[in-house]
Amino acid sequence: MKLRKVTAFATTALVLSLAATACGSSDSNDSGSGSGGGGKIKVGIKFDQPGLGLKQPDGTYAGFDVDVATYVAGQLGYKPSQIEWVETKSADRENALARGDVKFIAATYSINDERKQKVDFAGPYLLAHQDLLVKKDSTIAQATDLNGKNLCSVTGSTSAQNIKDKIAPKANLRENAGYSECIAALQSGAVDAVTTDDSILAGFAAQDKFKGQFKLAGLKLSNENYGVGVKKGDSATVTKINTALEKMVSSGAWQTAVTKNFGPAGYKNEPAPKIGDIVK
């Protein structure tokens, strides 16, 4: 009898300690499946897009997407120190979510039907437009001027796809892994123009090292509705992120992030979109 009681107690203690261990381990390697605790959350951003997602020389991250992601993670229960930033280049985003490398992605990620086959989106949280960046003295002023010219964009982007499908199928399109490589090619004269979202191009043009060298054509060649990407089927996270984005706008934090990140580049952004309101 006495022995039985001891065994029962030991069993209970063992169960309790196993439960505690299970909680601890799911927290510590959370890409994250729940709210904060002591664990980390992995978030996908761009590392080379000034004003949106930029890894700075001191190793910290800055930009509008970084601020949106930090706010969203906060609402999911994670402090900034619990965020692990992961670079998700344009062509890697769907796979990174499918593999579970990251919990969500805020990386100038346009919502479209093709991508919705593979991932789910919360948002949108920003509306941008495809545009062209050219040298200050360039005569390229509209999309038809691109035919026969050397143009740079990024693999896996809507910008590259739009050029091939409709905007300038006869342009000589070169595709790189990131926009920073395209900007270097524009500066060296290897290409005549870079095309992607105006939000991204404005950020590059305003960098000290490029000041006065480039201009945006100011063409609204497409509507790019930025969403927060999550793994296909994770509707619970989509709902939580939508609530977080709504709060970011209503609390004024969205406008603060816009002013801080787009102000220096003089980027005239569109007003905050409503959740689910996709501009075609």
Tokens of 178: 């990131």
Contact call for residue 196 and ligand GLU (CB under 6 A): yes
In the shown chain, the binding pattern of residues 238 to 277 toward ligand GLU, with x for contact by CB under 6 A and - for none, equals ----------------------------------------
Place of tokens 């990024």: 154
Q: Which is nearer to ligand GLU, 154 or 168 (CB)?
A: 154
Helices 253-262, 235-250: inter-axial angle, 10-degree rounding = 80
Is residue 210 within 8 A of residue 204, CB to CB? The reply is: yes
Is residue 84 within 8 A of residue 248, CB to CB? The reply is: no
Tokens of 139: 């005569």
- Single out the segment in contact with ligand GLU by CB under 6 A; choices: 16-24, 70-78, 106-114, 228-236: 106-114
- Single out the segment in contact with ligand GLU by CB under 6 A; choices: 76-84, 101-109, 162-170, 256-264: 101-109
Task: Report CA dihedral (8, 13, 14, 16) to the nearest 10 degrees.
Answer: 130
Q: Let me know if 67 is exposed, middle or buried by CB neighbors in 10 A (0-12, 13-18, 19+).
A: buried
- Return the residue of 64, 109, 262, 267 that touches ligand GLU, per CB under 6 A: 109
- Single out the segment in contact with ligand GLU by CB under 6 A; choices: 79-87, 135-143, 150-158, 254-262: 150-158
Query: At its nearest, how many Å lie between ligand GLU and the CB of residue 55?
Result: 15
Contact call for residue 158 and ligand GLU (CB under 6 A): yes
Contact call for residue 205 and ligand GLU (CB under 6 A): no
Q: Which is nearer to ligand GLU, 78 or 226 (CB)?
A: 226
Contact call for residue 31 and ligand GLU (CB under 6 A): no
3-state secondary structure of 136: coil
Q: Which is nearer to ligand GLU, 67 or 197 (CB)?
A: 197
Which of 129, 133, 242 lies closest to 191 in space, CA to CA?
Answer: 133
* CB-CB neighbours of 80 under 10 Å: 12
Within 13 Å of residue 68, how many CA atoms lie on the same side as its CB?
36
Cα–Cα distance between 194 and 153 in angstroms, integer? 6
Contact call for residue 197 and ligand GLU (CB under 6 A): yes
How distant, in Å, are the alpha carbons of 154, 157, 175, 183, 189 from that of 168? 15, 15, 14, 19, 20
Contact call for residue 224 and ligand GLU (CB under 6 A): yes
Query: At its nearest, how many Å lie between ligand GLU and the CB of residue 178?
Result: 9
Contact call for residue 110 and ligand GLU (CB under 6 A): yes
The residue count for binding ligand GLU (CB under 6 A) is: 12
Cα–Cα distance between 198 and 269 in angstroms, integer? 9
Q: Which is nearer to ligand GLU, 31 or 108 (CB)?
A: 108
Contact call for residue 157 and ligand GLU (CB under 6 A): yes
Contact call for residue 90 and ligand GLU (CB under 6 A): yes
Is residue 106 within 8 A of residue 45, CB to CB? The reply is: yes
Tell me which residues touch ligand GLU (CB under 6 A).
90, 107-110, 154, 157-159, 196-197, 224
